[in-house]
Structure 1
């Protein structure tokens, strides 16, 4: 939507400039000057409205529209009721300046800013300052213009044309840079995100998780979970692929809710297989977290699946004290997952040394389990 508003701004600029040049050869240029002024104020309105939509996420129409309408009313007054070339131009400049200041303020309040944002803020602020200073300077040097014939070669018009050319050119470049950068960021995010669930895909998970795993130390280990929905093909074959997608989204929502604000990195490796990396977590806490997920998922419901049919998940858990690749940790967790599947499904299996317990059978209750179960129920429709 902000791109559309910026397009309208430059459409107004093209029409307004064309009318402004046309008045030179017209016998009665006043109506054309009035419309040209309105279109040039429209440039400010749509440029700022687009910026507000981009940086604030919503329009400030309750402020921008009254400013625009007040400028139009003043223009009508100084054209048809109390004709004044200076009054018409000064009120147009003041209205446009007010809108550009709103745009600059919105950009300044944005949470995240890059070089393009800062340059756009500076351009908006400088444009507003110039629009305010221009009537004052021209009034001091030329006084109030009395006739349309005086306008063509005046400092008023010459300064405007030079300023407008520079301002519109700079703003157009910044708008194009902002749009291009946003599109590239969206494409990059899409390339790392699973479209069905909205969480990281396999590539995205590896990119995010690898540096986290490199920072793991023996005193501050990490735990990796591999989760696989049990007998998922039967779910698809019995209830349809749409229901299968609902089940996959249900597990993704459970992971998202259970890991919220915990620093846990989650992703979908493909099909019905998911992964979660828990930084600064030991095997005991990781196992409790996994068992909480398992029990919560089994207790949940899914659209399209009858209550008489329970969908479960098996989980493999591996702890990493550091010094190994993410592929190695995933391989060990995957081996634990395979054993969980082989020993009956709907269970959590631990990849650990012989001194550690290997299997957590279904039915184990922990505080983490209850938290995950609550998070799952909140995520369900």
Structure 2
């Protein structure tokens, strides 16, 4: 077996493993449509490599060469469909299928050209390069949501596309790609082409796998940190994200404030209207909090009817304004499925981070302020001990009912 033939055998085995890996992801998460397409792409890669392996055994390999070309180009198109699903783009089916048909027809007719003519080589290799660049563009279409792994994937697709375009020139530099299809695997160009192609294809496949696994793990983590009823972070998720926000704020020298709220007389709501109605009140308050917070705020349901919001970059006075606005607006909010005359209220405790505090200490101080709000009649905002001195001298905001904020 020639060196190129040995690499071809390795590629055949690796492509089968990759197809199986993508299929396992698709089976694990049936919603991940992209993994199914990627598994199909590498299964087509296996078929293409099998065709390449049998070409040396044929006396007239014209149709096998054309079939191999169409199979591999089809694999790159299917890979692009998988990328389109991964990055939430509409797969450009019609132009890609038209391109497949046209390119295959061209490759069929250029078989009549001299084997080492540049036009024949370009007709064979350029379509693969074009599809790799199209894949890079599909990734780029989601640039607002990309991270370094996604940009790395786009870079490898671009390098792979450039590699296909450069192949005809490599072939000329290395003495051609064999006097006939049967001699291809014995050529120096075949050894170089198969080796470089192996490096790029495995790099591409492994990076796509890493990206998919990252997404699967990220979504699993998000599900484990999300409260099913409210759609907000659960206590564990909130504490983890809040601790990270505190570290970032301290590192950047920014203020950070915590607002804790608790639905008033919640047991009475369940007793009077039933637990399903109590759930609707929680859902309504959660939705209200989600819509009220800014994108960089962190909100969670940390108890049965208790909620918390971290406001990075926000001083105590602004956080109290936020809490007062939320308290006032929620008290006027009708709840779907409950009598129109029913209105519900919430109490709030507010604490700003002080030097040396962690999330646990901040939570305790905000919770103590919430307890003061409950003790003072509910439906009001109270500030944590140790933060009153941080209010502006001209601050005259009072809680609901005209009661002055107390420590």
Q: TM-score, normalised by structure 2?
A: 0.73
Indicate how the Cα distance of structure 1 residues 180 and 99 shifts in structure 2: closer, same or farther if over 3 A, else same: same
What CA deviation, in whole Å up to 9, does each residue of 1:160-179 have, x standing for no partner?
43343333222222222222
Aligned pair 1:134/2:167, yes or no? Answer: yes
Between the aligned partners of 1:216 and 1:144, the Cα distance in structure 2 is 62
Deviation at 1:306, TM superposition (A): 2.2
Shift, 1:21, TM fit: 1.8
- Report the counterpart of residue 294 of structure 1 in structure 2: 327
| RMSD across aligned positions (CA) | 3.8
Task: State how far apart, in whole Å, the 2-side matches of 1:306 and 1:345 are.
Answer: 22
Residue 269 of structure 1: how far off its partner (Å): 0.7
Q: Deviations over 1:117-174 (max 9, x none)?
A: 4543343223222211222443576679885555554556555433433332222222
**Residues 105 and 339 of structure 1: is their aligned pair in 2 closer, same or farther, counting only changes over 3 Å?**
same
**Alignment partner of 1:336 is 2:375:** no
Give the aligned partner of residue 285 of structure 2. Answer: 251
Runs of 5+ unmatched residues, structure 1: 365-381
Tell me the matched-pair count.
359
**Corresponding residue of 2:89:** 58
Distance 1:84 1:163, change over 3 A: farther
Displacement of 1:9 after TM fit? 1.4
Gaps of 5+ in 2: 1-32
Moved more, 172-181 or 275-284: 275-284
- CA distance in structure 1 between the aligned counterparts of 2:226 and 2:258, rounded to whole angstroms: 19
Give how far 1:67 is off: 4.3
Partner of 2:46: 14
Cα 1:17/1:324, change in 2 over 3 Å: closer
Q: Provide TM-score, normalisation by structure 1.
A: 0.77
Answer yes or no: is the 8 Å Cα contact 1:268–1:275 preserved in 2: yes
Deviations along 1:34-68, one digit per CA (max 9) or x if unpaired, are 222111112222233333443x4314516xx4245
Q: In 2, Cα distance between the equivalents of 1:238 and 1:84? A: 87
1:229 corresponds to which of 263, 271, 286: 263
Q: Is the 8 A contact 1:223 1:318 kept in 2?
A: yes
1:227-263 CA-partner distances (Å, limit 9, x unpaired): 11123334445555454333223222222332215x5
Q: Deviations over 1:256-297 (max 9, x none)?
A: 332215x54322212211012334545444333222111111
Q: Which residue in 2 is equivalent to 1:375?
A: none
CA contact (8 A) 2:58 2:182 kept: no
Give 1:188's match in structure 2, choosing from 218, 221, 242: 221
Shift in Å, 1:114: 5.4
Any conservation in 2 of the 1:37–1:89 contact (CA below 8 Å)? no
1:141-156 pair list within 5 angstroms:
148-149=181-182, 151=184, 153-154=186-187
Match of 1:173 in 2: 206
